[in-house]
A and B are shown apart, each in its own frame.
Chain A
Amino acid sequence: MAGLVTGDSIVNPDAKLTGAGVITLIDRVTKVDPKGKKVLLSGGKELAYDKLVLGMGSSPVLPPIPGNDLDGIFVLRSLRHAEAMRQFLSIKKPKRLVFIGAGFVSLELAVLLKQADPDYEITVIECLGYPLPTMLDAELGGRVGKFLEEKGIELRMNSRTIDILGKSGAVSGVKLDSGEVINCEMLFMNVGARPNLDIAIDAGLVMGQYGIEVNQFLETSNSDIMAAGDCANCFHFVTGRPNPGALRGPAVIMGRLVAKRLAGYEIPFPGILNASACSLIDLNIAATGLSEQQAKDEGFEPLSATVDSRSKHGMIPDMKPWTLKLVFDKNSKKLIGGQILSADISPVKEIDAISALILGGKTIEDLTVFMTAGNPDCSPEPSMEPIAIAGEQALQKLRN
């Protein structure tokens, strides 16, 4: 989307699969026949299987708002979507862009386009109260909002789009539930994804709340069929309950797990944490596990600790600030979530340490003795290492 590379230059070549000995077919599967143990392709071909893996993924949700089929409306899920948008931007030269949904795809795109052309008038609309509401709590989300406004991006939080307006078959604006009309020549939608389930439902597989029901080894209700990724009913590591995972990271891990299961390994899938990161050029965000609000919604009694830290020792040039928020379950004292906001990009990957600590079932006390590698150019001074300090803060809150 930044126009730095062509689409074809960044795709994996098919040789990556064929070179590994995988037969590659480019076709659409129209039906799975579990009794006959075969799949039917759109070209008429039938392919027999002994074992079948379903990884159909998901598709972007186009909310059922009147006018959602007008020209100039885009989603972003694959390379062809990006290419279509780039072509529209270069040919139609829209000036006013509206983004529905303040998730990380919307925000990265909005910031990128605003930086590419400061003359773009960009508005982001979100039905919840602040940007990145599924990643962050209100106080950090509010800081993201302030950052976006400083970049010249208009926000309409706590707002729903009730109508998409058009002129001559193309989008011309949106109407909000407040009555406000925002004119635009391009509309981008980022409000979630829906699992692709048609062939699985038709095959009679048992469905869960968010996709194909699978056990901890990603096996479906049919002993010869496995499912993984966005089309499977994932569960959350912290809550143990179904969760609509739609991120590439867990999908890759699940893909490898499926292969290992078929080869005879017995490694269960631990559940997702929805660890994700977002880069808005001067502001970088990451989150994992449950936010404090999500923890409350799930019935936990959360306890949180927020620490301001630094990307380097204070004496090193270009030191930048970052903030860490950790969420604990007061009853078990276990770490259940984390959020990072950072001016520099490097601290953002500390979220992986948080994920590891959550998966390891680490508690408040464990975090107070968490020791990290340090170097003045890539970490704060050891006495200011934020994970341990957050543990100390939480420990004092427990005592009080």
Chain B
Amino acid sequence: MKKGEKLVIIGCGGVGGPASILSKRLMPEVEVTNIREEKRFIVR
């Protein structure tokens, strides 16, 4: 992805959390948005 592009990730269970965090780390100039339905993020 390129600088300034938008990445949207639906879900924050097994896939969404790691995908969001690593995407931002690898592509810091991409806007990363995570959308989840559950009020609480998955347990540790």
Query: Which A residues are closer than 8 A to B by beta carbons?
Result: 7-8, 10-14, 16-17, 20-29, 39, 41, 47-57, 78-80, 199, 228-231, 248-252, 254-256, 258-260, 262-263
Contacts and interface: CB of A to CB of B under 8 A. Distances in A.
Contacts of A80: 38
B41 A255 contact: no
A13 B44 CA distance: 9
A28 B37 contact: yes
A27 B6 CA distance: 18
A21 B27 CA distance: 11
Interface in B26-44: 26-28, 30-44
Interface string B3-16: 00111111111111
B39 A26 contact: yes
A17 B11 contact: no
A23 B14 contact: no
A259 B23 contact: yes
B22 A21 contact: no
Given A255-B15, A262-B7, A22 B43 contact: no
B22 to A, nearest CB: 4
B26 A251 contact: no
Contacts of A258: 15, 19, 23
Contact of A53 (B19, B42, B43): B19
A49 B31 CA distance: 9
13 contacts: A11-B41, A16-B21, A22-B23, A25-B34, A27-B35, A49-B6, A50-B6, A53-B19, A54-B10, A251-B15, A255-B15, A259-B18, A259-B23
Contacts of A231: 11
Contacts of A249: 14
Given A16-B21, A22-B32, A53 B37 contact: no
Given A23-B34, A25-B34, A79-B43, A53 B16 contact: yes
Contact of A23 (B32, B37, B38): B32
B20 A251 contact: no
Contact of A16 (B11, B19, B28, B41): B41
A24 B27 CA distance: 17
Contacts of B36: 24-26
Given A51-B1, A78-B38, A256-B18, 20 more contacts: A11-B42, A11-B44, A12-B17, A12-B42, A12-B44, A14-B41, A16-B21, A24-B34, A25-B34, A41-B35, A47-B6, A48-B6, A50-B5, A55-B12, A55-B14, A55-B19, A80-B38, A231-B11, A255-B19, A259-B20
A22 B42 contact: no
A20 B14 CA distance: 17
Which of B6, B13, B21, B39 has the most chain A CB within a 10 Å cutoff?
Answer: B13
A64 to B, nearest CB: 24
A263 B39 CA distance: 29
Contact of A228 (B15, B32, B39, B42): B15
B26 A260 contact: yes
